[in-house]
């Protein structure tokens, strides 16, 4: 998709489709309160073209609601699309992100290849943030997962222009626009990785894709395989990998900006299980095909590093992604086995389908060995987090309130939904083992927190955040602003968390 920022008057822009945003400005409450759709554009020609349809009451400016007008009088555009942001009390910059995605996805099945979106006026004091969010939403909306269809038709929107007022602060908006392009493309990079089937994205190929990206954006990288795991005594990671014909990959990416020689070193650790059968504790057949997405945490870290390299925050960052397949062959680890993690801790295996926490255990230890002073990990770790939070919020855990406060601030920028869940000694007691130091599961109840407490053992006292993204990494239902399939969740939030250390 070609992207451009324009400062031309809306009425003069010649395009296949001009999209403008509207809000329900009704503030009264009660059954008698009627929606008051109000355009977020003061352009007289746009106002005149939309007046009749707004007067009918058919369009209520609900969240991501659309209405299309052909050959709008007074405009050079062939079509005028109005996209709703919802009620004024709830609309935000993040609503503009979704609305931009909705406009793009409206165009795709209609084979409209050119779209201009008018930047909303009198909507937010943080206009550059709105610019970045809008272009992010447009790029995210253009992604489709049908990569391997033999009859696939390219329905992508080829040109997206964001139109700002001619009187705008051009330098500030251009910088925000460029930033939004980087973030949107990085999130789509994560989605493209997660979308790949297990036979097309083995651990080795994931390492190759990460290395290619690193070379393109100027990151230092190392890709290691079985021998390195043995050298580092990564017994937990190797236990998971040993049942597969495909070798594991230990992916290390480094961003070390010039002139930054002290301060924190941020460690990003991702689960990269490129296919998860559950191992000997095999999963049910129904839905197992989706287990190609079990590397979404690793993909989020790789994509966040892409954005970090291009946006160049003044903070040192190391990413460690532990990639493997979890397969049930004759060499696979078994329930009852005991392995020794890189840290020296011994782990009793209760369930081989609780493999993500094992690879992350060694990943967290290695990130600390490489110098990380602050840690964040991401993983499609537990089904239990979806039971607790549904498909609305991802789970978040932390052993450090200050680190988590930074993450809360990052969420205000990213617009992603995470909910902090508890840690505690009572939960940690549930993973005490009779034969080893700890065991890899602790029973049916509180599964997401028990998994987090397992990781806490390896993060120790370093400020650490754990993101359990199992419920949000794959979109099951149609949404007007994003395709079904991989979401790329956590990329934006991880990036903003890292940037918070640069600004400190």
pLDDT of residue 500: 97
- 250 and 293, same structural domain? yes
- Residue 235 CA to residue 238 CA, distance in Å, equals 5
- The pTM of the full predicted model, rounded to 2 decimals, is 0.97
Give the C-alpha separation, 390 to 399, whole Å.
23
Residue 180 placed within a domain: no
In what helix (H) or strand (E) does residue 319 lie, and over which residues does it extend?
A: strand 316-326
For residue 503, pLDDT beyond 60:
no
Rounded (10°) angle between helices 170-195 and 203-217: 160
- Least confident among 5-14, 115-124, 268-277, 281-290: 115-124
Co-location of 156 and 199 in the same domain: no
Same domain, 131 and 44: yes
Task: Give yes or no: residues 421 and 498 share one domain.
Answer: yes
Q: Which position has the token pair 């450090």?
A: 400
For 111-126, how does the pLDDT look when each residue is reduced to its tens digit (9 = 90+)?
999 999 999 998 877 8
DSSP-assigned letters across all residues of 265-318: EEEEEEEEEEEE--TTSPPPSTTGGGGGGGGHHHHHHHHHHHHHHHH--SSEEE
What's the confidence (pLDDT) of residue 125?
A: 72
How much is the pLDDT for 31? 66
Same domain, 162 and 229: no
User: Is 179 a domain residue?
Assistant: no
Number of domains forming the structure of the chain: 2
**388 shares a domain with 313:** yes
Residues 208 and 274 grouped into a single domain: yes
- Which of 168, 195, 216 corresponds to the end of one domain? 168
In a domain? residue 67: yes
Is position 191 annotated as part of the catalytic site? no
pLDDT (tens digit, 9 = 90+) per residue, 194-221? Answer: 999 999 999 999 999 999 999 999 999 9
Query: To which residue do tokens 């400062």 refer?
Result: 7
CA–CA dist 12, 189 (Å, integer): 35
Q: What is the DSSP string of 77-132?
A: SSEEEEEEEEETTT--HHHHHHHHHHHHHHHGGGT--EEEEEPPSSS-S-HHHHHH
Q: Which residues contact 246 (CB under 8 A, 6 or more apart)?
A: 202, 203, 204, 274, 324, 325
Enclosing domain of residue 14:
2-168
Q: Is 499 a catalytic residue?
A: no
The CATH number of whichever domain residue 481 belongs to comes to 3.40.630.10
> Which of these is catalytic: 113, 228, 283, 314?
283
Helix (H) / strand (E) element for 413: namely helix 401-414
Checking if the pLDDT of 407 tops 70, the result is yes
Answer yes or no: is 404 within a domain: yes
pLDDT at 332: 98
Strands 249-255 and 316-326, bridge-based pairing? antiparallel
What are the E-state strand segments in 100-235? 114-118, 159-163, 220-224
Residue 347 corresponds to which tokens in the numbers above? 């782990």
What number is the average pLDDT over the span 137-144? 98
Confidence band of 154 (pLDDT split at 50, 70, 90): confident
In this prediction, residues 447-463 reach a mean pLDDT of: 98
Q: State whether 33 and 76 are in the same domain.
A: yes
- Active-site pick, 60, 108, 254, 357: 357
What's the mean per-residue pLDDT of the chain? Answer: 96
Q: What is the pLDDT of residue 124?
A: 73
Say which CATH number the domain at 161 has.
3.40.220.10
């Amino acid at each position: 998709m070609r992207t451009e920022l324009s400062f031309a008057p809306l009425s003069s822009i010649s395009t296949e489709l001009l999209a403008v945003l509207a809000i329900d400005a009704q503030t009264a409450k009660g059954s008698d309160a009627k929606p008051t759709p109000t355009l977020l554009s003061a352009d007289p020609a746009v106002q005149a073209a939309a007046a009749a349809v707004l007067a009918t009451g058919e369009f209520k400016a609900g969240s991501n609601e659309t209405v299309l007008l052909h050959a709008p009088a007074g405009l050079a555009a062939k079509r005028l699309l109005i996209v709703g942001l919802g009620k004024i009390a709830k609309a935000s910059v993040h609503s503009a992100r979704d609305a931009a995605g909705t406009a793009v996805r409206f165009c795709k099945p209609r084979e409209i290849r050119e779209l201009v979106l008018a930047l909303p006026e009198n909507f937010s004091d943080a206009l550059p943030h709105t610019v970045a969010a809008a272009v992010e939403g447009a790029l995210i909306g253009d992604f489709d997962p049908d990569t391997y269809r033999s009859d696939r038709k390219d329905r992508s929107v080829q040109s997206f222009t964001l139109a700002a007022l001619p009187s705008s602060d051009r330098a500030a908006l251009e910088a925000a626009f460029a930033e939004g392009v980087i973030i949107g493309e990085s999130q789509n990079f994560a989605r493209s990785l997660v979308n790949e089937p297990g036979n097309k994205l083995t651990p080795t190929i994931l390492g190759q894709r990460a290395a290619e990206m690193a070379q393109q954006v100027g990151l230092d990288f190392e890709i290691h395989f079985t021998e390195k795991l043995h050298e580092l005594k990564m017994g937990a990671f190797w236990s998971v990998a040993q049942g597969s014909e495909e070798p594991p990959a230990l992916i290390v990416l480094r961003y070390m900006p010039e002139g930054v020689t002290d301060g924190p070193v941020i460690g990003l650790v991702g689960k990269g299980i490129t296919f998860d059968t559950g191992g000997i504790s095999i999963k049910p057949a129904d839905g197992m095909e989706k287990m190609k997405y079990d590397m979404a945490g690793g993909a989020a870290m790789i994509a966040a590093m892409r954005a970090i390299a291009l946006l160049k925050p003044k903070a040192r960052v190391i990413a460690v992604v532990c990639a493997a397949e979890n397969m049930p062959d004759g060499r696979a680890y078994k329930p009852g086995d005991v392995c020794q993690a890189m840290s020296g801790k011994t782990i009793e295996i209760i369930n081989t389908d609780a493999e993500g926490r094992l690879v992350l255990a060694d990943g967290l230890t290695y990130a600390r060995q490489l110098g990380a002073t602050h840690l964040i990990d991401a993983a499609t770790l537990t089904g239990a987090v979806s039971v607790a939070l549904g498909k609305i919020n991802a789970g978040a855990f932390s052993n450090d309130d200050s680190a988590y406060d930074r993450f809360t601030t990052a969420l205000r920028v990213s617009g992603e939904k995470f909910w902090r869940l508890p840690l505690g000694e009572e939960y940690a007691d549930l993973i005490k083992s009779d034969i080893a130091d700890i065991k890899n599961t602790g029973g049916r109840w509180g599964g997401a927190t028990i998994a987090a407490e397992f990781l806490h053992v390896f993060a120790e006292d370093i400020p650490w955040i754990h993101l359990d993204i199992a419920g949000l990494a794959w979109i099951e239902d149609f949404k007007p602003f994003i395709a079904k399939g991989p979401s790329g969740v956590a990329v934006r939030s991880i990036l903003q968390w890292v940037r918070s250390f640069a600004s400190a």
